[in-house]
Amino acid sequence: MSQQRTLRLSSQLHTSTVYVLGTEISLDIRGSAPKDATSFNVRGTPGVDIYIVHNPQVAKVPTCVPRWPLDDEVEVMVTMKAPSKDINDHKVRISYYGQDGGTAIHSTMLYLTCIDVSLDADTTRSGVVQRGTTDKKEWIWGPDGQGAILLVNCDRDDPKSSEMDNIHEVRFQRLDDPSLGLLLYSDLRDMSCMILRTQGPDAIFDDHKLVLHVSVSDADKVGVFHARGDDVLQQYEHVLGSHELSYVVEHASGREEDTFYVEGLAFPDADFSGLVSFHVTLLDTPTESLPETPIFTDTVVFRVAPWIMTPNTQRPLEVFVCSLSDNADVVEAMSELAQKAHCKLTICPEVENRGDRWIQDEMELGYVQAPHKTFPVVFDSPRDRELQDFPFKSILGPDFGYVTQEPFNEIVSSLDSFGNLEVSPPVTVRGKAYPLGRILIGSSFPRVGGRRMTKAVRDFLYAQKVQPPVELYVDWLCVGHVDEFLSFVPALGRQGFRLLLASPRACYKLLTEKQEEGYGDARLFEGLETVPTTTIDEILANESLRRDNDYVQSCIDWNRDILKRELGLSERDILDLPQLFSVLDEEASAFFPDMVNMIVLGKHLGIPKPFGPIIDGRCCLEENVRSLLEPLGLTCTFVDDFFSYHALLGEIHCGTNVRRKPFSFKWWNMIP
């Protein structure tokens, strides 16, 4: 709907005003009418369109002008089609007639100057700012949607700086330096463009001005920079933000576009929907002694891009592993696996990991995306053990962003480690599409008084909206991470993946079969020094272990049922990997290396070597897993992590991290 503006006509003098392209002027015909007038007519110069609104009909004034009755039912609307060349170059004449008709008893003139004012952004999500005809105030999800997108400027483009880019804002204010030499070109490329277009005679800005403004609720979520002059670094001025709610845009003769660069400063969260609106208002500043009055406002709304996780089905780009004095074999195995999968290997040295090998738990690697730019963002867990500085000091960098959540007044537990934060591949659940998958987190539910993920982390994950979380039950585990009993592997057919679940039941079935085949005396843990071996017969005869595993199976089955329901999976989407757990003090942990806690690099799987019973020279657990996974086109590499990870209550997945290719699907094309 066009913006409409009521215009009062002077009854004595002529009136002169600015008309903004795309709006309507509603003329106050009755207000300037002489007392005896009963009808009027109205004519405009070419380029001015005049409409008579006789509720509810609208009629364009014909060339042959009739007289219109001067009553409450008649309204007069004026529109124009192109910016003026000169001040007051268009006119409208209103003539009033008395009861007897004949000649006009009074007439008044309205002088019009048409200008164009438009605040534009990439509302079509094409990567380029286009002059939009759509309603820029609405942000609409989906492939037929509209609305511009902002990135949180959370990377560090200046390699010399020890801070994130969006600290710039603070720095600018502190230094109050008019040269503002700290902004880098690369930093600008992270920001979204917003263009203020103005067209019309220069002289109009002698008594009009343009103000860019933002509401107090939105202001602390953004920074806006004004590109002044030509493209020289020093000329980007910070103009809107926390302490700057409005900014007067100076008019420069001949310049029809002012370019602004907009950065996000906050991700969507419990108290922030992600939407931020900017407005430009044209003010009339008629005389020195009176304040300006508003004439026209244009508004454009941005949504801050959410932080997005990548599932195992996305192509791996970079593998992270910590190097310690005791894990050279695993590092070597990861190096070979990364090479096979054609991805980069980054080894976190002991000086940085300080003895902490659980790099999965310290951080989660995701990304942010706008039509003009995509970059990875590390989410730093509140876990904060020896690796705590690694994400900020070594991952954050040019085009690699950083985000964290500081729990307020809450106890951080093992459930806040990001081995407890995974994401499913894309799924469709009873007709509802989740094209970026769903986040999986482990929760204490339903254990009374159990550990839980902090509200800060949980609220952040929910607020991203594009990968709605599913909460699983993990507090039955000693460590309590979802990656202890589930993983996803890419696979042809079905939905393009399989869910792998650790399965005591499958393990008992396998071992019973082997016993029946006469291998009851085959031994687990053979070849491991200092670890006592045990036979299949002994395992199967251990009633206490069986009870523990029936219990574990029921906990995993509870999660299986949730996963089937919330991810829309059927039994055929799930593969059960043989696994035993032991339960001590009501807390479960893997009895032999937890095979589902694997690293998935495309088709290449790095699986904890289970040290199962050797039958005909082969580990029957490995054979079973191969028989399940290799038909899907996957290759299994079993990696000995027994003493370096398993014995410390983690495995390969816990000890690695993977940066993956962002989805080709754009998040704004989904409907949450």
Separation of alpha carbons 624 and 608, rounded Å: 14
- Indicate whether 570 belongs to the interface with a copy of itself (CB under 8 A): yes
Omega of the bond prior to 69 within 30 degrees of 0, cis? no
Write down the least CB distance from residue 500 to a copy of itself, Å: 16
Residue from 51, 141, 272, 643 in contact with a copy of itself (CB under 8 A): 272
Q: Toward a copy of itself, which CB reaches closer, 82 or 140?
A: 140
Residue from 163, 586, 630, 633 in contact with a copy of itself (CB under 8 A): 586
User: What six digits make up the tokens of 560?
Assistant: 């299986």
Q: Which residue has the tokens 């843990």?
A: 525
Residue from 187, 548, 622, 651 in contact with a copy of itself (CB under 8 A): 548
Core vs surface per residue 106-130: b (16+ CB within 10 A) or e: bebbbebbbbbbbbbbbbbbeeebe
Residue from 572, 616, 617, 627 in contact with a copy of itself (CB under 8 A): 572
- Indicate whether 553 belongs to the interface with a copy of itself (CB under 8 A): yes
Residues in the chain: 672
Site for a copy of itself in 45-74 (CB under 8 A): 55, 72-73
Q: Toward a copy of itself, which CB reaches closer, 477 or 619?
A: 477
Separation of alpha carbons 278 and 299, rounded Å: 6
Site for a copy of itself in 295-314 (CB under 8 A): 295, 297
Query: How many residues form the binding site for a copy of itself (CB under 8 A)?
Result: 78
CB 188, CB 180: distance < 8 Å: no
Per-residue contact track with a copy of itself, 21 to 50, x per CB under 8 A? -----x-x--x---x---------------
Write down the least CB distance from residue 67 to a copy of itself, Å: 20
Write down the least CB distance from residue 75 to a copy of itself, Å: 6
Q: Tell me which stretch binds a copy of itself (CB under 8 A): 4-12, 148-156, 344-352, 355-363.
A: 4-12
Separation of alpha carbons 160 and 186, rounded Å: 14
Write down the least CB distance from residue 583 to a copy of itself, Å: 7
Whether 483 is a known active-site residue: answer yes
Residue from 564, 603, 626, 666 in contact with a copy of itself (CB under 8 A): 564
* Catalytic residue (one of 168, 208, 481, 653): 481
Q: Tell me which stretch binds a copy of itself (CB under 8 A): 96-104, 362-370, 456-464, 642-650.
A: 456-464
- Indicate whether 138 belongs to the interface with a copy of itself (CB under 8 A): no
Cα distance from N-terminal residue to C-terminal residue, the chain: 27
Residue from 54, 91, 509, 626 in contact with a copy of itself (CB under 8 A): 509
Write down the least CB distance from residue 246 to a copy of itself, Å: 5
Omega of the bond prior to 143 within 30 degrees of 0, cis? no
Residue from 70, 211, 275, 615 in contact with a copy of itself (CB under 8 A): 211
Separation of alpha carbons 504 and 488, rounded Å: 18
- Indicate whether 99 belongs to the interface with a copy of itself (CB under 8 A): no
Q: Toward a copy of itself, which CB reaches closer, 211 or 347?
A: 211
Residue from 171, 228, 251, 505 in contact with a copy of itself (CB under 8 A): 505
- Indicate whether 243 belongs to the interface with a copy of itself (CB under 8 A): no
- Indicate whether 283 belongs to the interface with a copy of itself (CB under 8 A): yes
Whether 208 is a known active-site residue: answer no
* Catalytic residue (one of 483, 548, 573, 641): 483
Write down the least CB distance from residue 513 to a copy of itself, Å: 6
Whether 361 is a known active-site residue: answer yes
User: Please, is 668 exposed, middle or buried when counting C-beta atoms within 10 Å of its C-beta (0-12, 13-18, 19+)?
Assistant: buried
Whether 158 is a known active-site residue: answer no
Q: Report the number of secondary-structure helices (H) and strands (E) in the chain.
A: 12, 43
DSSP calls for 576-630: EEE--EEEETTEEEESS--TTS-EEETTEEEEE-----EETTEEHHHHHHHHHHG
Residue from 103, 287, 627, 664 in contact with a copy of itself (CB under 8 A): 287
Separation of alpha carbons 436 and 424, rounded Å: 8
CB 270, CB 200: distance < 8 Å: no
Q: Toward a copy of itself, which CB reaches closer, 62 or 449?
A: 449
Cα dihedral sign for 664, 668, 670, 672? Answer: positive
Q: Toward a copy of itself, which CB reaches closer, 283 or 632?
A: 283
- Indicate whether 213 belongs to the interface with a copy of itself (CB under 8 A): yes
Q: Tell me which stretch binds a copy of itself (CB under 8 A): 259-267, 313-321, 376-384, 549-557.
A: 549-557
* Catalytic residue (one of 193, 322, 507, 654): 654
Separation of alpha carbons 223 and 32, rounded Å: 46
Q: Which residue has the tokens 């799924």?
A: 427
Separation of alpha carbons 146 and 169, rounded Å: 29
Element (H, E) at 48: strand 48-54
- Indicate whether 583 belongs to the interface with a copy of itself (CB under 8 A): yes
Write down the least CB distance from residue 417 to a copy of itself, Å: 17
Q: Toward a copy of itself, which CB reaches closer, 5 or 93?
A: 5
Write down the least CB distance from residue 617 to a copy of itself, Å: 23
CB 319, CB 334: distance < 8 Å: yes
Per-residue contact track with a copy of itself, 395 to 434, x per CB under 8 A? ---------------x-------------------x----
Core vs surface per residue 275-300: b (16+ CB within 10 A) or e: ebbbbbbbbeeeeeeeebeebbebeb
- Indicate whether 258 belongs to the interface with a copy of itself (CB under 8 A): no
φ, ψ dihedrals at 24, nearest 5°: -125, 140
DSSP strand E in 305-408: where? 308-309, 316-322, 344-348, 363-370, 373-380, 401-404
- Indicate whether 75 belongs to the interface with a copy of itself (CB under 8 A): yes
Site for a copy of itself in 216-235 (CB under 8 A): 216-217
- Indicate whether 246 belongs to the interface with a copy of itself (CB under 8 A): yes
Residues whose CB falls within 8 Å of the CB of residue 441, separated by 6 or more in sequence, listed in order: 420, 421, 422, 453, 458, 461, 469, 470, 471, 472, 482
Strands 581-584 and 363-370, bridge-based pairing: unpaired
Write down the least CB distance from residue 293 to a copy of itself, Å: 4
Plot region of 482 (φ>0 → left; ψ -120 to 50 → alpha; else → beta): alpha
Residues marked active site are found at 361, 481, 483, 654
